């Protein structure tokens, strides 16, 4: 009887102890993350609370777990240096904003274009995937990077302390704007200035810039609602998107065990859809906050929008010609992007 008891006891203890031992035996995959956004930004919160736990749960079955060290708010590298640091293998993950990296991914700038009907984040994300698969030159721009997930945060509006309605209202106005939106404003006499997010608050507070092209969630995220009081929304469109992707160093990704790579690949679409949903939910919350603070909310009229479209048209054509001069299919990318965005928005 004693032998039976001891045998039973040992078997029972095995069920208690082994899972803990197995958890401790998981091989850690050490990774380094650096970005320019605050720790409370939607992408950073999602990464820690949803993406990593989901990936860990799946790769634990393969004997692995992630060990990521995070450096937020440009605490390790300034924004302008982060993608280069990733290319050099100094970090493994970062946030990549195509409109801020036009030299690295010129065709991807189309994702950030204002006034082109890309006003549905889910449709535009699907368009993004399709362009990378169907236009070789577009996909080749990410050769050095693994796209972990991407999203279209903060549909662009104009924010300041004066009401600006039509393009010529920006003549002589210094403002934070980049990419094509910056080019449109420059063409009508505005003074677009590109700054790192860490400089936006101080610059607006001190009058170094007078306005900023940024989504309403971005305004509250970076506490800019303390220094701007007017928010201008285009009618049924957006003043661009800061299209954003979490990228991983390609060599680092390819060095991971095949099973771990597959888990990451299998979760790209889920993460993209989830992250779009999270950021979309923040926009009405932020709008409600600034309304409670008594801010001025302006929605442009259809007639005013015609002036914006007229200002944007030659700038878009200039971009196409610039791409074509480099041997890149600019017109094909724009036309396909518009077709796909419209197709997916209707589904």
Q: What is the pLDDT of residues 132-150, one digit of tens each?
A: 999 999 999 999 999 999 9
In tens, the pLDDT along 4-53 reads 444 444 444 444 444 443 445 899 999 999 998 889 888 899 999 999 99
Q: What is the pLDDT of residue 18?
A: 40
| Mean pLDDT computed over 287-308 | 97
Under 8 Å CB-to-CB from 12, ≥6 apart: which residues? Answer: none
Question: Does an H or E element contain 147, and which?
Answer: strand 145-151
Candidate from 5-19, 188-202, 230-244, 246-260 with smallest mean pLDDT: 5-19
Residue 287 in this model has a pLDDT that exceeds 80: yes
Query: 175, 232 in Cβ contact below 8 A?
Result: no
In tens, the pLDDT along 177-203 reads 988 899 999 999 999 998 888 899 999
Query: 153, 42 in Cβ contact below 8 A?
Result: yes
Joined together, the tokens standing for residue 70 give: 């995070």
3-state helix, strand, coil in the chain (%, to 5): 55, 15, 30
| Mean pLDDT computed over 116-135 | 88
Q: What is the pLDDT of residue 286?
A: 96
Residue with tokens 């590298």: 77
Q: What is the pLDDT of residue 2?
A: 45
pLDDT bucket at 166, cuts 50 / 70 / 90: very high
pLDDT bucket at 120, cuts 50 / 70 / 90: confident
Q: What is the pLDDT of residue 9?
A: 44
Residue 176 in this model has a pLDDT that exceeds 70: yes
CA–CA separation, 347 vs 335, rounded Å? Answer: 19
Selecting from 1.50.10.10, 3.40.190.170, 3.30.1960.10, 3.10.129.10, what CATH number does the domain 157-240+283-346 have?
3.40.190.170
For residues 94-103, one letter each, b for 16 or more C-beta atoms within 10 angstroms of the residue's C-beta and e for the rest, the string is bbbbbbbbbe
Strand partners, 27: 64
Strand partners, 247: 94, 147
Please, is 115 exposed, middle or buried when counting C-beta atoms within 10 Å of its C-beta (0-12, 13-18, 19+)?
Answer: buried
CA–CA separation, 343 vs 29, rounded Å? Answer: 40
Residue from 124, 133, 177 nearest 151 by CA: 124
Report the mean per-residue pLDDT for the chain.
90
Residue from 22, 68, 30, 29 nearest 260 by CA: 29
Query: 174, 233 in Cβ contact below 8 A?
Result: no
Q: What is the pLDDT of residue 223?
A: 96
Percentage of residues in the chain having pLDDT higher than 70: 93
pLDDT bucket at 118, cuts 50 / 70 / 90: confident
Sort residue 278 into left (φ over 0), alpha (ψ -120 to 50) or beta.
alpha
Residue 261 in this model has a pLDDT that exceeds 90: yes
Q: What is the pLDDT of residue 179?
A: 84
| Mean pLDDT computed over 326-330 | 97
**What are the domain boundaries of the chain?**
27-108+136-152+244-281, 157-240+283-346
In tens, the pLDDT along 210-224 reads 999 999 999 998 999
Percentage of residues in the chain having pLDDT higher than 90: 75
Query: Do 27-108+136-152+244-281 and 157-240+283-346 agree at the fold level?
Result: yes
Q: What is the pLDDT of residue 347?
A: 74
Taking the alpha carbons at both ends of the chain, their separation in whole angstroms is 70
| Mean pLDDT computed over 330-339 | 95
CA–CA separation, 294 vs 113, rounded Å? Answer: 30
Class of domain 27-108+136-152+244-281: alpha beta
CA–CA separation, 18 vs 61, rounded Å? Answer: 14
Joined together, the tokens standing for residue 310 give: 């007229």
> What SS3 state is found at 71?
strand
Residue 336 in this model has a pLDDT that exceeds 50: yes
Joined together, the tokens standing for residue 245 give: 């992707």
């Amino acid at each position: 009887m004693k032998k039976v008891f001891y045998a039973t006891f040992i078997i029972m203890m095995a069920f208690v102890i082994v899972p803990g031992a197995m958890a401790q035996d998981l091989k850690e995959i050490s990774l380094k993350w650096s970005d320019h956004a605050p720790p409370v930004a939607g992408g950073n919160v999602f990464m820690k609370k949803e993406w990593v736990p989901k990936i860990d749960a799946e790769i634990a079955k393969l004997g692995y777990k992630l060990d990521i060290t995070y450096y937020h708010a440009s605490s390790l590298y300034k924004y302008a240096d982060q993608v280069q640091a990733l290319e050099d293998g100094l970090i493994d993950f970062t946030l990549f904003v195509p409109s801020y990296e036009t030299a690295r991914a010129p065709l991807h700038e189309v994702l950030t274009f204002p006034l082109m009907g890309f006003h549905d984040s889910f449709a535009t994300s699907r368009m993004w995937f399709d362009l990378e698969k169907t236009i070789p030159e577009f996909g080749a721009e990410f050769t050095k990077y693994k796209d972990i997930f991407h999203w279209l945060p903060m549909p662009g509006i104009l924010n300041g302390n004066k009401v600006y309605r039509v393009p010529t209202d920006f003549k002589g106005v210094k403002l934070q704007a980049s990419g094509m939106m910056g080019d449109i404003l420059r063409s009508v006499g505005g003074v677009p200035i590109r700054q790192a997010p860490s400089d936006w608050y101080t610059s607006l507070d001190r009058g170094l810039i007078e306005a900023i092209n940024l989504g309403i969630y971005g305004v509250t995220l970076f506490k800019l609602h303390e220094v701007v009081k007017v928010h201008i929304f285009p009618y049924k469109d957006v003043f661009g998107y800061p299209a954003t992707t979490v990228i991983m160093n390609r060599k680092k990704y390819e060095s991971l065990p095949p099973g771990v790579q597959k888990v990451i690949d299998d979760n790209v679409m889920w993460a993209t859809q989830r992250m779009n949903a999270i950021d979309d939910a923040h926009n009405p919350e932020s709008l409600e906050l600034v309304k409670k603070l008594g801010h001025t909310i302006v929605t442009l009229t259809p007639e005013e929008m015609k002036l914006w479209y007229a200002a944007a048209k030659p700038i878009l054509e200039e971009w196409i010609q610039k791409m074509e001069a480099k041997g890149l299919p600019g017109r094909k990318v724009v036309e396909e992007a518009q077709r796909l965005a419209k197709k997916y928005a209707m589904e």
